[in-house]
Each structure stands twice: as C-alpha cells, then as structure tokens.
Structure 1
C-alpha cells in the first residue's frame, strides 16, 4: 500500500463517473485545486487505474454501468484502505446508507457544487493523514496507534475504514463520556452540518468489529436521548 500524500499538489484523486460532463467538471476543479487526477468511466477501468497508480482518494459514482460503485468500492477495499467519496444521483436515504455500509467516508448528492466537493476532498484527505504527537491508545483489549493508522483487538489487526478508525480513536481518548451524534460529526468528521445517519451507520459498523455481540454492545453503548458512550469497563 502506498503512502498517502501530504499536500494537494501530490495527492492523487481517481474520479469514476460514466457521465463525461460530470467527470470533466469534477476533474477540472480538482486539477485547479492542485490534485493529480485520474479518470475512469466504468468499474473495470477504475480498478485498472487504481492498480496502476494507487489513489489517495476516490470520487466514485454509485450508478455505474455493469459494475456499480458499491462493488467497485468493495473490490478496492479488498486491496487496501483508501478514502472514498460516493456520488449518488438521488437523495434517497437507502442509497446513502448503502454507500456508507460498504465503507464510503463521505457522499455527495447530485446535483452538487464542485467547490463543495473539493472542500469534502480536502477534509477527507486531511483526516486520513497519520496523526502526529499522539501516543498509542489502549482499553478493553483494543489498541489504536494513530501515527501508524493501525488498530488491533486482542492483538488481531482490525480492518477499519478511515472514519471507523477515527471514531474508535476518539472513543478511546474520551472513555465514559456520552456524545450526541452532532458532537461526533463535529469532532470526528470535522463537519458542523450533515446527515446524522452517517454517524449511526458508522457506529453500527464499528460495533460489528469490536463487540463480542454487536446486538448487545458492551463497549459502545447507546445513551438514550443523548447518543453514545464508550465504556471500557474494568481492565
């Protein structure tokens, strides 16, 4: 897996969309923002381009011919972690949830502002960079190394997406305190606004990876009327 870029000028973004007008506009805005841009108009081409030059981030249309964006995301994630911003043609919650369920880090609903998309790209890339000055975090058999972007459970490495990793690290930093979904979106995603179902889906996915019984979570507990609390219990 390649190292992530530290600046816009060296970050490579793969834009995958079968609409040439959308792809051209998005690529143009990203290019002017200083990113190196690759383009693909279908799933197989996207996988080929990614294999040739592993991207730092993928802007991925959900509705692609043949192989849809969900499958492209799954296959890319099978080769290594990569931040994904999903483009959805509709505002349906089901589409957004599906994208988040396969590990998309963000989504933008068409029609969208290209300038907003560039800001989302910058935000996701900034969050994906290794943290500095933060030591290893550990509790309840979980260990998170922010500098290495590595997390383990009972010594076994966890396959976490960018947001799942950040969410777990945040919980380990702040045990025993309840946070609302708005708080988590602001502190973990860095957004002051957005669809709160994003937080709900990531909590569910994270529970599936760190809990003995995700249906009866012991570590990431629901605080009714408030949000969620990480409760490591007795060490």
Structure 2
C-alpha cells in the first residue's frame, strides 16, 4: 500500500511497469481455427497495419479467410453428389470397402440412402467377431462370461445372416452386412466377406477398412486380393 501511494503521489512508475503496459497494448489475442480445409485467423480487439503505431478499434471478432465457397455455408464435405455412384457400385460389386473420415458422420448419409432403397442392416464389429464364415453362415457356439462364479457354459446360435434373411419382410430389397473396424481382419477373412454375396445373393457387404480424409470406397475384392477370374 505504501509503495502504491508513493507512486500515485509522484505520478511516476518504474520503467518495468511502463514496459509491461506497452507489451499488453501492443499484442492482440489471436485465435486460429479450421473452417473446412482453410485456416481462419480471428483477431480480437484491434486490426494492425504495417505500422504498429496505427491501429483502429474493431467491433467484436474479425474473420479473415480466402477461397470461401458455397460449401462453407451449406455443409462443406457433407454435401456430395456421388450418391448415384454409391448405389450403382453397391449393386454392381455387392461388397465394398469404405474409408470414412476420422470425425465420422459421413457414412450415415450413405447408410440412410440404402435404407431408403429398401435394404435392411446387420451391424457387426470385426473385433470379437471370430471366424466370419462360422459366425455368419453356420451354427456357432458362444461362451457367455461366467465372472469366475458360474460354470462355463456354451450356447449355440443360428447363423447370423441366414437367420435374418429368413425374417426379412417380403418387400425388402436385401440385407446389408455392415462391419465396422474391419481393418483388424486378416486377408483370408476379407476374402470370405468379398465372396459372401456370391454365396447369399440377397446379401451386400460394406466393410470399414480404414479412414481417409474424405469418404471413399473400393470393391472389397480388390482390397482382399481377389481378381474377377478368381472370384
């Protein structure tokens, strides 16, 4: 308190305090964000010219970016015009390997379009799936968790694909086996999934085999190393 009063009485502050105030006024908080594929710099408070001494106040935040397009206002990468190609590839190849972006949300558009076409879905995770051929097309055993207190039991379940094919409504177009985290599957397991539509004509397979910066898909036979002659 005494030091503060003495400064006010003399009307003079130490050089370190003046320097501190100058540094606070000369810097402007900047926030860097991402809008689509472009970096946007938000300047808060003041816009500085080449000469630091000249500045003018701004109201709120000022957004500077270049290359603004229509996609920045209506959804960016979510707006695509490849739905027709997606539907034709599902019907032509019948087994696809997809690579959605890491942030997710893109594959839902393509899934919903297949639902509108009349397809029903069987969602599975590749982790813990076991042998795809046994789980999807054969009667397979399942051992429930016993928690160390109950005796180890073994239950038998019907084939996942055949069971759902039998219970499809008459107006259904087919069954789509959508497998997430398919990147953990071996090459032999991917080959069986690629051949599953041949064994069950009303089945389509979509396997999430990885991630990419945009939503892309390829025939699963190419990923599994199968050729058209070998299939």
User: How would you bin the TM-score normalised by the shorter chain?
Assistant: under 0.3
Q: Which has the higher helix share?
A: 1
Q: TM-score normalised to the size of structure 1? A: 0.21
Q: Which has the higher strand share?
A: 2
Q: TM-score normalised to the size of structure 2? A: 0.21
Q: Kindly indicate whether structure 1 or structure 2 has the higher relative contact order, using CA contacts under 8 Å at least 6 residues apart.
A: 2
